[in-house]
């Protein structure tokens, strides 16, 4: 047989596919299947993580195609974002040139992988054709009240005079200037995702092909919380607080609104706490320098919930008192506290130290009363030390609530405050509206004009897209669109006077929140061709990294609902099936001076199990470090291109899927890819040694047929169940079986090999095509139907029967299925474990019961 040379065979097959336009989507009206991998950011190169992701999708796409589906499997580029602007600032390259060059490069690299992608549908989100359609639906949502403007807090770099994205803030400082970042209020655009909060939670229940973990993360992110809003009347206040004229609202005197999930604990309330930037805290700070200082101190700790959670509890008494709603003899002090978030609920709480840990920590520090009001059913009393009691129980010390169990007490407390006009039941969410304004150049322009007389004006449909200007500068910080000499100056579309364009661009998560819908007809005049979208959506299988479990996947679910409500689509859920794949990881190597060393410059030796590493270029000994995600900073990257070059595409594809379940990380090792490469050779050798004229026995032919059907069953189940590694393991076994099989005829071998070609095709499509042709099969294996197994043939023909002695399992026998009970009995009695047991216990057999194909029961005594 000839040696298989991937270097000639792989380009030959890719050429064949290209000439046949094999991967252009066919819509023949059969069952459809939409496979999509999260589209890449064009950072410059395809890395191993990309390769693994796209190869997984390709296995699914090729398998579904073989099963007779019309398959949609498109590819594009998530092409807006900061790195392009950084390249411009650092190296003077235009973001557009940088991005499209990277795309060209990565497209070439992706094409090498032999993926069954429909490149005719490709687009980049930075194509004016794409973002112009995005502007069109953005305006539609604006008209529908889902887009609005309000003040939002941004990270402001006071040295660079620019807004920073969260990722650009490192330990509270601007990543370039190193200056402490300030919070600033800027007028920003928002999408009203909170309108869909409930629907987004409910929808999660229909997503039965999503990982449970991801659904839970989304649910927590939306954070639905049920409780009550309470209004606490101010009964004492410092004289400097302004009194309001009768009937006028006055935030310094009006009742304090508080949100609670535990109205049942109201009798244990011992203080009110306001966020440091609550309006009342700020009003008092104007007259009290100590409060002003307190606000400043709090502003210095991070604003994330995690930061606040970690920080030591701090507070200050504001000199205000409020009336308890249920106990007229009781008033409570009002404090400001650093653990109260201004952005949740109403930015104010009532503290019940006995039943809330944060409140307890705070009360212990500032010596505020701790009054338990809930106790477990079986406890006569309850003592609170340093731990709050948050478990179930009944109210006590609680007036009309006494004896009620937590849930009953909540309902009773809410009914009472409602009757008194001092509160009401309320449901709130952690989810905030989505701030989409970015003060950056390389993004989708927001299609709005600000007119001095008309205000906010939409750019008319016939003037879309609002295209980014090319002639921008990056020599100074800030937004290049804002300082462009002409771009923003326009006439108001409505009244014709001098007006200015909005210079904010959209968050790139907007770009990726609907691309899957655009792929169903990427040249449609409308943002979404409803008919095409309804034919193809939802995406049947979406594949990507778990790092997108919340933001991207939640935004996409929201926008799909919004576009569906606007009549553009019929589905609410964009992704029926979701798979989150693991990463590709690699060992790290370090020199004594701490420098990381690339794997290609490392020689590994294994001396009786003790591994050591040496740098090839310098001869220096290296420290073998942890196995980590491939990253440039640790230099533990192996580029797919190197592997394809040295071992071929099929071997590379096989390797990224073979050693680990898809949801887990896979460790790159040179040995792994060599093993994959040898397998590809073995597959070819089998095909190449096929001889139609070989003769064999009917017995052997039947046995090989049986092996073939077992393999079809096992591989099909592996592919269907997203257990690609186990499907590959079965393929290895099947190849070994065929290779070692003797005495079968040419015809029987052909049947086995024809099945093998179709089974390996999703994984190693090139060698599969070569083999298919060598067998003399017509056309391409790509279009051959997926093999179907006969359950009778695929069934295991041996069964394992446990042997019980007096009801206890003592051994087992392996017998042909349907074996004669007498034969089973004989085997069981001769079984070594049985003999040993009887001997050891000095017993003998009294009775034998054989349940055919199930179990052997022995009674001994």
471-500: which residues touch Zn ion (CB under 5 A)? 492, 494-495
Cβ proximity to ligand ANZ: between 347 and 718 the closer is 347
CB 833 within 8 A of CB 855: no
Q: What does 596 bind: Zn ion, ligand ANZ, none (CB cut-off 5 to 8 Å by kind)?
A: none
Number of alpha carbons in the 13 Å side-chain half-sphere of residue 587: 16
Residues 684, 685, 688, 689: is their CA dihedral positive or negative? negative
Using CB under 6 A, which of 47, 52, 73, 262 touches ligand ANZ?
262
Q: How big is the site for ligand ANZ, counted in residues (CB under 6 A)? A: 16
Minimum Å gap between C-beta 491 and Zn ion is: 8
Would residue 835 be called left, alpha or beta, if left means φ above 0 and alpha means ψ between -120 and 50 degrees? Answer: alpha
CB 708 within 8 A of CB 755: yes
Look at residue 855 and give its three-state secondary structure. Answer: strand
Which residue has tokens 């294996």?
Answer: 781
Q: How big is the site for Zn ion, counted in residues (CB under 5 A)? A: 6
Minimum Å gap between C-beta 430 and ligand ANZ is: 7
DSSP of 688-756, one letter per residue?
HT--TT----HHHHHHHHHHHHHHHHHHHHHHHTT-HHHHHHHHHHHHHHHHH--S--HHHHHHHHHHH
Stretch that binds ligand ANZ, among 61-69, 257-265, 496-504, 833-841 (CB under 6 A): 257-265
Minimum Å gap between C-beta 449 and Zn ion is: 8
From residue 206 to residue 225, what is the string marking binding to ligand ANZ with x (rule CB under 6 A)? -------------------x
Q: What does 396 bind: ligand ANZ, Zn ion, none (CB cut-off 5 to 8 Å by kind)?
A: none
Would residue 319 be called left, alpha or beta, if left means φ above 0 and alpha means ψ between -120 and 50 degrees? Answer: left
Structure tokens at 860: 């001994």
264-303: which residues touch ligand ANZ (CB under 6 A)? 265
| 185: β partners | 153
Q: Taking CA 735 as the corner, what is the angle to CA 729 and CA 736, rounded to the nearest 5 degrees?
A: 95
Cβ proximity to ligand ANZ: between 343 and 523 the closer is 343
Cβ proximity to ligand ANZ: between 175 and 429 the closer is 429
By CB neighbour count within 10 A (0-12 exposed, 13-18 middle, 19+ buried), where does 674 fall? middle
Q: What does 265 bind: Zn ion, ligand ANZ, none (CB cut-off 5 to 8 Å by kind)?
A: ligand ANZ
Structure tokens at 808: 């206890």
353-412: which residues touch ligand ANZ (CB under 6 A)? 355-356
578-617: which residues touch ligand ANZ (CB under 6 A)? none
Minimum Å gap between C-beta 387 and ligand ANZ is: 13
Cβ proximity to ligand ANZ: between 140 and 356 the closer is 356
Structure tokens at 147: 């887009």
Q: What does 494 bind: Zn ion, ligand ANZ, none (CB cut-off 5 to 8 Å by kind)?
A: Zn ion
Cβ proximity to Zn ion: between 496 and 791 the closer is 496
Total Cβ atoms within 10 A of residue 837:
19
Q: Taking CA 794 as the corner, what is the angle to CA 790 and CA 797, rounded to the nearest 5 degrees?
A: 135
Q: What does 352 bind: Zn ion, ligand ANZ, none (CB cut-off 5 to 8 Å by kind)?
A: ligand ANZ
Give the separation between CA 229 and CA 183, rounded to whole angstroms.
28
Give the separation between CA 587 and CA 566, rounded to whole angstroms.
50
Minimum Å gap between C-beta 63 and ligand ANZ is: 44
Give the separation between CA 687 and CA 756, rounded to whole angstroms.
9
CB 350 within 8 A of CB 230: yes
Stretch that binds Zn ion, among 33-41, 204-212, 400-408, 444-452 (CB under 5 A): 444-452
Cβ proximity to ligand ANZ: between 226 and 739 the closer is 226
Q: Classify residue 381 by its DSSP letter.
A: -
Look at residue 383 and give its three-state secondary structure. Answer: coil
Q: What does 344 bind: ligand ANZ, Zn ion, none (CB cut-off 5 to 8 Å by kind)?
A: ligand ANZ
Under the binding rule (CB under 6 A), the answer on residue 314 touching ligand ANZ is: no
Q: What does 500 bind: Zn ion, ligand ANZ, none (CB cut-off 5 to 8 Å by kind)?
A: none
Q: What is the CA radius of gyration of the chain?
A: 35
Kindly give the pairing relationship between strand 845-851 and strand 855-860: antiparallel
Minimum Å gap between C-beta 345 and ligand ANZ is: 3
Q: What does 495 bind: Zn ion, ligand ANZ, none (CB cut-off 5 to 8 Å by kind)?
A: Zn ion
Give the separation between CA 126 and CA 81, rounded to whole angstroms.
9
Using CB under 6 A, which of 95, 174, 333, 345 touches ligand ANZ?
345
Q: Taking CA 495 as the corner, what is the angle to CA 493 and CA 500, rounded to the nearest 5 degrees?
A: 55
Among 717, 744, 739, 748, residue whose Cα is nearest residue 730: 717
Give the separation between CA 733 and CA 682, rounded to whole angstroms.
12
Under the binding rule (CB under 5 A), the answer on residue 456 touching Zn ion is: no
Minimum Å gap between C-beta 65 and ligand ANZ is: 47
Using CB under 6 A, which of 9, 200, 340, 532 touches ligand ANZ?
340
Give the separation between CA 694 and CA 751, rounded to whole angstroms.
13
Q: In what order do the strands lie in the sheet with 423-429?
A: 256-260, 224-232, 423-429
Minimum Å gap between C-beta 414 and ligand ANZ is: 13
Cβ proximity to Zn ion: between 420 and 497 the closer is 497
Q: What does 260 bind: ligand ANZ, Zn ion, none (CB cut-off 5 to 8 Å by kind)?
A: ligand ANZ
Q: What does 454 bind: ligand ANZ, Zn ion, none (CB cut-off 5 to 8 Å by kind)?
A: Zn ion
Under the binding rule (CB under 6 A), the answer on residue 349 touching ligand ANZ is: yes
Cβ proximity to Zn ion: between 492 and 755 the closer is 492
654-693: which residues touch ligand ANZ (CB under 6 A)? none
DSSP of 85-119, one letter per residue?
HHHHHHH---HHHHHHHHHHHHHHHHHHTT---BG
Q: Classify residue 332 by its DSSP letter.
A: E
Residues 674, 679, 680, 681: is their CA dihedral positive or negative? positive
Minimum Å gap between C-beta 261 and ligand ANZ is: 4
Q: What does 492 bind: Zn ion, ligand ANZ, none (CB cut-off 5 to 8 Å by kind)?
A: Zn ion
Q: What does 685 bind: ligand ANZ, Zn ion, none (CB cut-off 5 to 8 Å by kind)?
A: none
Cβ proximity to Zn ion: between 316 and 492 the closer is 492
Under the binding rule (CB under 6 A), the answer on residue 261 touching ligand ANZ is: yes
493-552: which residues touch Zn ion (CB under 5 A)? 494-495
CB 41 within 8 A of CB 88: no
Burial 246-255 (b: 16+ CB within 10 A, else e): eeeeeebbee
Q: What does 355 bind: Zn ion, ligand ANZ, none (CB cut-off 5 to 8 Å by kind)?
A: ligand ANZ
Cβ proximity to Zn ion: between 411 and 454 the closer is 454
Stretch that binds ligand ANZ, among 85-93, 339-347, 513-521, 591-599 (CB under 6 A): 339-347
Look at residue 636 and give its three-state secondary structure. Answer: coil
Q: Which helix (H) or strand (E) holds 351?
A: strand 348-351
CB 372 within 8 A of CB 354: yes
Minimum Å gap between C-beta 479 and Zn ion is: 23
Minimum Å gap between C-beta 278 and ligand ANZ is: 9
Under the binding rule (CB under 5 A), the answer on residue 454 touching Zn ion is: yes
Structure tokens at 83: 């790195």
Q: What does 88 bind: Zn ion, ligand ANZ, none (CB cut-off 5 to 8 Å by kind)?
A: none
Q: 632 a known binding residue?
A: yes
Summarize the annotated binding site for ATP as residue ranges.
632
Chain contacts with Zn ion (rule: CB under 5 A) = 451, 453-454, 492, 494-495
Summarize the annotated binding site as residue ranges.
632
Chain contacts with ligand ANZ (rule: CB under 6 A) = 225, 259-262, 265, 340-341, 344-345, 347, 349-350, 352, 355-356
């Amino acid at each position: 047989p000839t040696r298989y040379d991937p270097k000639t065979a792989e380009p030959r097959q890719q050429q064949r596919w290209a000439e046949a336009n094999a991967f252009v989507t066919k819509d023949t009206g059969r069952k459809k299947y939409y496979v999509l991998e999260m589209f890449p950011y064009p950072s410059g190169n395809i890395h191993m993580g990309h390769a693994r992701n796209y190869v997984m999708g390709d296995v699914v796409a090729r398998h579904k195609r073989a099963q007779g589906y019309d398959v949609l499997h498109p590819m594009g580029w998530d092409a807006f974002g900061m790195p392009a602007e950084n390249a411009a600032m650092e190296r003077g390259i235009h973001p557009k040139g940088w991005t499209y060059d990277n795309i060209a490069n990565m497209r070439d690299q992706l094409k090498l992988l032999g993926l069954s992608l429909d490149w005719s549908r490709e687009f980049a989100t930075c194509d004016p054709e794409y973002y112009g359609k995005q502007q069109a639906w953005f305006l539609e949502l604006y008209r529908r009240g889902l887009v609005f403007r309000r003040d939002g807090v941004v990270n402001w770099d006071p040295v660079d005079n620019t807004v920073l994205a969260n990722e650009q803030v490192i330990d509270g400082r601007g990543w370039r200037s190193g200056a402490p970042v300030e919070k600033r209020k800027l007028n920003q655009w928002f999408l009203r995702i909170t309108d869909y909060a409930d629907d987004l939670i409910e929808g999660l229940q229909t997503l039965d092909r999503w990982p449970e973990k991801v659904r839970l993360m989304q649910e927590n992110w939306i954070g639905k919380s049920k409780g009550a809003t309470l209004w606490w009347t101010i009964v004492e206040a410092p004289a400097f607080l302004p009194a309001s004229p009768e009937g006028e609202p006055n935030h310094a005197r009006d009742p304090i609104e508080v949100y609670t999930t535990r109205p049942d604990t109201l009798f244990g309330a011992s203080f009110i706490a306001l966020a440091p930037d609550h309006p009342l805290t700020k009003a008092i700070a104007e007259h009290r320098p100590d409060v002003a200082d307190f606000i400043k101190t709090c502003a210095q700790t991070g604003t994330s919930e995690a930061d606040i959670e970690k920080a030591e509890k701090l507070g200050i008494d504001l000199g205000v008192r409020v009336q308890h709603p249920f106990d007229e003899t009781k008033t409570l002090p009002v404090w400001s506290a650093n653990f109260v978030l201004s952005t949740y609920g109403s930015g104010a709480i009532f503290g019940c130290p006995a039943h809330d840990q944060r409140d307890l920590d705070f009360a212990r520090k500032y010596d505020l009363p701790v009054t338990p009001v809930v106790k477990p059913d079986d406890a006569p009393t309850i003592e609170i030390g340093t731990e709050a009691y948050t478990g179930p129980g009944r109210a006590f010390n609680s007036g009309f609530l006494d004896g009620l169990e937590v849930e009953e007490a909540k309902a009773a407390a809410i009914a009472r405050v409602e009757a008194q006009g001092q509160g009401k039941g309320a449901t709130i969410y952690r989810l905030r509206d989505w701030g989409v304004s970015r003060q950056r150049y390389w993004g989708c322009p927001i299609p709005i004009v600000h007119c001095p007389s008309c205000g906010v004006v939409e750019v008319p449909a016939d003037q879309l897209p609002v295209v980014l200007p090319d002639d921008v500068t990056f020599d100074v910080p800030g937004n290049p669109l804002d300082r462009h000499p002409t771009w923003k100056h326009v006439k108001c579309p409505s009244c014709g006077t001098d007006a200015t364009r909005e210079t904010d661009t959209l968050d790139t998560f907007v770009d990726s929140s609907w691309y899957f819908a655009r792929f169903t007809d990427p040249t449609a005049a409308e943002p979404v061709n409803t008919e095409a979208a309804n034919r193809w959506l939802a995406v049947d299988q979406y594949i990507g990294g778990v790092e997108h479990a919340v933001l991207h996947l939640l935004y996409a679910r929201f926008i799909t609902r919004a576009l569906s409500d606007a009549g553009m689509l019929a589905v609410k859920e964009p992704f029926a099936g979701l798979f989150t794949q693991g990463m590709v990881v690699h060992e790290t190597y370090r020199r004594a001076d701490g420098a990381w060393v690339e794997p290609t410059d490392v020689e590994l030796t294994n001396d009786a199990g003790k591994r050591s590493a040496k740098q090839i270029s310098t001869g220096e000994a290296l420290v073998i470090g942890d196995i980590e995600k491939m990253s440039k900073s640790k230099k533990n990257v192996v580029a797919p291109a190197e592997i394809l070059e040295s071992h071929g595409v099929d071997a590379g594809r096989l390797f990224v899927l073979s050693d680990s379940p898809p949801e887990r990380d896979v460790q790159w090792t040179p040995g792994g890819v060599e093993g994959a490469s040898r397998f590809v050779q073995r597959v070819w050798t089998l095909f190449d040694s096929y001889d139609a004229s070989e003769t064999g026995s009917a017995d052997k032919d039947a046995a090989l047929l049986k092996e073939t059907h077992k393999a079809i069953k096992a591989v099909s189940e592996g592919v269907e169940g997203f257990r690609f590694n186990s499907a590959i393991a079965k393929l290895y076994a099947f190849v070994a079986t065929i290779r070692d099989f003797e005495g079968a005829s040419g015809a029987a071998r052909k049947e086995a090999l024809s099945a093998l070609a179709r089974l390996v095709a999703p994984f190693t499509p090139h060698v599969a095509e070569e083999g298919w042709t060598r067998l003399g099969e017509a056309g391409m294996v790509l279009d051959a139907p997926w093999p179907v197994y006969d359950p009778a043939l695929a069934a295991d023909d041996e069964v394992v029967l446990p042997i019980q002695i007096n009801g206890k399992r003592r051994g087992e026998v392996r017998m042909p299925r349907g074996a004669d009970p007498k034969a089973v009995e004989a085997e069981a009695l001769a079984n070594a474990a049985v003999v040993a047991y009887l001997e050891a216990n000095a017993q003998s057999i009294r009775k034998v019961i054989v349940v055919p194909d199930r179990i052997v029961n022995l009674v001994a005594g």
